[in-house]
Amino acid sequence: MIAIIDYGVGNLASIKNAFDSLNIESIITSDKSIILNSDKVILPGVGAFKDAIDLFRSKGFDDTIDQCIKLKKPILGICVGMQMLFQYSNEFGRHKGLGYFEGEFVKFDDSIYKVPHMGWNNIIIKNGCSLFNNISNPYVYFVHSYYLKDSKYSVAKCNYAGEDFCAAIWKDNIYATQFHPEKSGDVGLKILKNFGDL
Q: Which residues of 39-48 are buried (b: 16+ CB within 10 A; e: fewer)?
A: ebbbbbbbeb
At residue 125 the predicted structure's pLDDT band, cuts being 50, 70 and 90, is very high
* 155, 125 contact by CB (below 8 A): yes
**Cis peptide preceding 116, ω within 30 of 0:** yes
Is residue 101 scored above 80 in pLDDT?
yes
At residue 163 the predicted structure's pLDDT band, cuts being 50, 70 and 90, is confident
- List the catalytic residues: 79, 180, 182
Question: What are the tens digits of pLDDT across the range 19-35?
Answer: 999 999 999 999 999 99
Q: Give burial (CB, 10 Å; 0-12/13-18/19+) of 135.
A: middle
Closest to 94 measured CA to CA, from 85, 107, 81, 78: 107
- What pTM was estimated for this model as a whole? 0.95
Question: What are the tens digits of pLDDT across the range 103-117?
Answer: 999 999 988 889 999
More confident residue, 18 or 91: 18
pLDDT score recorded for residue 92: 85
Question: CA-CA distance, 120 to 96, in Å (whole number)?
Answer: 29
Is residue 81 scored above 90 in pLDDT?
yes
Question: What are the tens digits of pLDDT across the range 145-155?
Answer: 999 999 999 99
Is residue 175 scored above 80 in pLDDT?
yes
pLDDT score recorded for residue 46: 85
* 141, 103 contact by CB (below 8 A): no
Question: What are the tens digits of pLDDT across the range 40-63?
Answer: 999 998 888 999 999 999 999 999
